[in-house]
Amino acid sequence: MQKFIVKPGGKIRGTIRVPGDKSISHRVVMLGALAKGITQISGCLEAEDTLNTIAAFKAMGVSIKKNSQGQIIIHGVGMHGLQPPTEPLYIGNSGTTMRLMAGLMAGQKFSVEMGGDESLLQRPMIRVTKPLTTMGAKILLADNGTPPLIILGKQDLQGIEYNMPIASAQVKSCLLLAGMYASGKTCVVEPYPTRDHTERLLLGFGYLVNREDNKVCLKGGGQLYGKSIDIPADISSAAFFIVAACIAKNSEILLEHVGVNPTRTGVIDILQRMGANIKLYNQREVNGEPIADIRVRSSDLHGINITKEQVPLAIDEFPILFIAAACAEGETVLTGAEELRVKESDRIQVMADGLQKLGINAEPQADGIIIQGGKIRGGVINSHGDHRIAMSFAIAALRANGTINIEDCANVATSFPNFVNLAQHVGIKVKQLN
C-alpha cells in the first residue's frame, strides 16, 4: 500500500505549473472523439482518470496518440462514428467519466457496460440515470443505484427540460451530451451555478448552446468540429499549493497558467475571505477559458462561515480548505455541503477523523463541518484511497509539530501524478513509500 511520510515544518518557495485541468481534459477528449476532423490538445492531464477516458474512446475505435511535442492528437470519428467496444469499459476511479459518458452512451446505436474501482462502484448514479430514462434511455444499474451501468443502445431520445435537484456539473453535462443525440431541445436548470466547461467547450467545438439565467439549452442533431486547444493548469491541483503557501511561514509561490473560470474559483474567494494573501496576475483568455498566474504569500487566516451557494464553486477543494481552517484563528463553519459525503470518499467524515487524530477540534455535521483552528500534532492518517484527502494531509504537515504518515495514497495518481515531486520541489518534506 502506498504511503506518504511527511516531516513537519518547512517553507514554500518557487514557481511551478501544476498539471492540466481534469474536468476540461475529460471533456476535450470526449468532444474531440465525436468531432469531425482532428483535435490537437496541449496541456492535457495525463493521470489515471483522464487516461481511463482516453482508453474508453480508443476501445470504441477512436485513434488517440501523442505526438513528438507531447500533444494528444485525436482523429474524431463524427457524432455517429463510435464502434461497439468488445469488452465492458473500465472507468477506474472517475465519477466524471462515468456520469458524462452515461449521457453520451445513451445516444449510441450499440449497448455498453461501464464499471470501475471499489470507490466508483459505491457512487450514486440515479442522479443521471433518472433524467436520462425520462429522455428515453434504457439503463440497468446495481440494486442500490450504483455502477456497473449497462446502457442499452438504439433508443430514441427526446429532449427534456430538467430542474436539477442538486447543483451538479456532472449531471448538467451528462444531460447536455445526451441532448446532442435527442430530438428537439434539452434544457437543464441549475439551483446554483456549477462549472460551465461543457458549455464553453461545446461552443468552442462549434455546437450552439444557449444560456438564460440559470437555464442551459441545446438542440439535438448538431455537429462538432475538431480544433487545437490549450488546457490550463488545474485550479483544484493548484489549491494544495495555494493553501501550503498561506499556512507556512516566510513563504511565497507563483502558480503559472492556472484556469480561473469563475465557476471554479470558490477556493480563492473563500481563502481571501479568511484573510489569505492571494493575487492574480497576467489575466487572459485561452480557448474560451480565463487563465491567470497566481501569487500566494504567508497569511494570517481567520475562521469564516461558508454556505450552500458557495459550495459548487469550490466542491473539490474542501479537504484542503479544512486544513486551512485548522490553521486559522477561530471557528470555520461549513453548511449545505452534504454532496461531500458522496465523493471519492465521505470527505466530511474522513477529514473530521483525520483532523481529530492530529489534535484539531473538528465536528462533522450532516451537511458540513465545524472546525476550530488549533495546534496540529503528528499522527497516522487513513486517506481511504481518496487522492484529495491524501494530498491535503501532506500539506497539513507544514504546520504540524510531528511527522504525519498518510496511508493508502496510490490514488493521488488519478489526478496529480507528479504531486510528490512538485511538493518536494517547493519545500514540503514528503517521501513516498510503495
Q: In 85-234, where does DSSP find H-type helix?
A: 95-106, 126-134, 169-179, 197-204
- Kindly state whether residue 170 participates in binding ligand S3P, applying the rule CB under 6 A: yes
- Kindly state whether residue 96 participates in binding ligand S3P, applying the rule CB under 6 A: yes
- Kindly state whether residue 238 participates in binding ligand S3P, applying the rule CB under 6 A: no
DSSP SS3 for 407: strand
CA dihedral defined by 168, 170, 176, 180, rounded to 10 degrees?
-170
Identity of the residue, 191 or 359, whose beta carbon is nearer to ligand S3P in the bound complex: 191
Contacts 24+ apart (CB under 8 A), 359-365: 360/326, 362/322, 362/326, 365/335
Q: Which of 132, 135, 164, 169 binds ligand S3P (CB under 6 A)?
A: 169
Cell of 264: 471554479
- Kindly state whether residue 195 participates in binding ligand S3P, applying the rule CB under 6 A: yes
Q: Which stretch binds ligand S3P (CB under 6 A): 38-46, 138-146, 169-177, 256-264?
A: 169-177
Whether a cis peptide bond, with omega within 30° of 0, leads into 290 is no
Q: Which of 39, 52, 173, 261 binds ligand S3P (CB under 6 A)?
A: 173
Catalytic residues: 316
What is the size of the binding site for ligand S3P (CB under 6 A)? 10
- Kindly state whether residue 345 participates in binding ligand S3P, applying the rule CB under 6 A: no
Residues 8-27 that bind ligand S3P (CB under 6 A): 23
DSSP SS3 for 14: strand
Residues 62-81 that bind ligand S3P (CB under 6 A): none
Identity of the residue, 147 or 427, whose beta carbon is nearer to ligand S3P in the bound complex: 147
CB 180 within 8 A of CB 105: no
Q: How far apart are the first and last CA of the chain?
A: 6
Distance, CA of 424 to CA of 347 (rounded, Å): 25
Identity of the residue, 173 or 299, whose beta carbon is nearer to ligand S3P in the bound complex: 173
CB 325 within 8 A of CB 244: no
Q: Which of 35, 315, 395, 400 binds ligand S3P (CB under 6 A)?
A: 315
Q: Which of 50, 168, 261, 392 binds ligand S3P (CB under 6 A)?
A: 168
Cell of 162: 430538467
Note the residue count of the chain: 434
Q: Which stretch binds ligand S3P (CB under 6 A): 55-63, 165-173, 219-227, 317-325?
A: 165-173
Identity of the residue, 23 or 155, whose beta carbon is nearer to ligand S3P in the bound complex: 23
Number of alpha carbons in the 13 Å side-chain half-sphere of residue 23: 25
Identity of the residue, 102 or 169, whose beta carbon is nearer to ligand S3P in the bound complex: 169
Residue with cell 477528449: 29
Residue 47 CB, nearest distance to ligand S3P (Å)? 12
Residue 177 CB, nearest distance to ligand S3P (Å)? 11
- Kindly state whether residue 293 participates in binding ligand S3P, applying the rule CB under 6 A: no
Q: Which stretch binds ligand S3P (CB under 6 A): 163-171, 262-270, 273-281, 374-382?
A: 163-171
Q: Which of 316, 317, 386, 408 binds ligand S3P (CB under 6 A)?
A: 316
Residue 99 CB, nearest distance to ligand S3P (Å)? 7
Number of alpha carbons in the 13 Å side-chain half-sphere of residue 50: 24
CB 198 within 8 A of CB 191: no
Distance, CA of 164 to CA of 169 (rounded, Å): 10
- Kindly state whether residue 289 participates in binding ligand S3P, applying the rule CB under 6 A: no
Distance, CA of 371 to CA of 274 (rounded, Å): 13
Contacting positions for ligand S3P (CB under 6 A): 23, 96, 168-170, 173, 195, 315-316, 339
